[in-house]
Amino acid sequence: MIGDDATRQYEANQALFRAVHEVAVRHAGAPFDQVVSALTGSLPPTPRLQADEIRRIAEEISLGRDPSGL
């Protein structure tokens, strides 16, 4: 069903945003490489992020920002 697919997608996106938020809280202002490692170890398998997206998110977190919006 379309509703079930939309619900699954919404839940997957929420899990992604929560994971980014948790890394942002724990690693705000940390060195870029450390943030990348934390992100890659914490992100859920779906939806999968591209390497450039992970780099962009890690840059934001290393500057002390929380790109999750939470």
Every domain of the chain and the residues it spans: 2-62
pLDDT category at 22 given cuts 50, 70, 90 is very high
Q: How far apart are CA 52 and CA 57, in angstroms?
A: 9
- Of 68, 58, 52, 51, whose CA–CA distance to 13 is shortest? 68
Question: Is the torsion defined by CA of 30, 32, 36, 39 positive or negative?
Answer: positive
**Residue located via tokens 């202002």:** 29
pLDDT category at 45 given cuts 50, 70, 90 is confident
Q: How far is CA 32 from the centre of its chain?
A: 14
- The pLDDT value given to residue 1: 55
Query: Does the structure show a pLDDT above 90 at 63?
Result: yes
Considering the entire predicted model, what is its pTM?
A: 0.86
Mean pLDDT taken over the chain:
91
70, 18 in Cβ contact below 8 A? yes
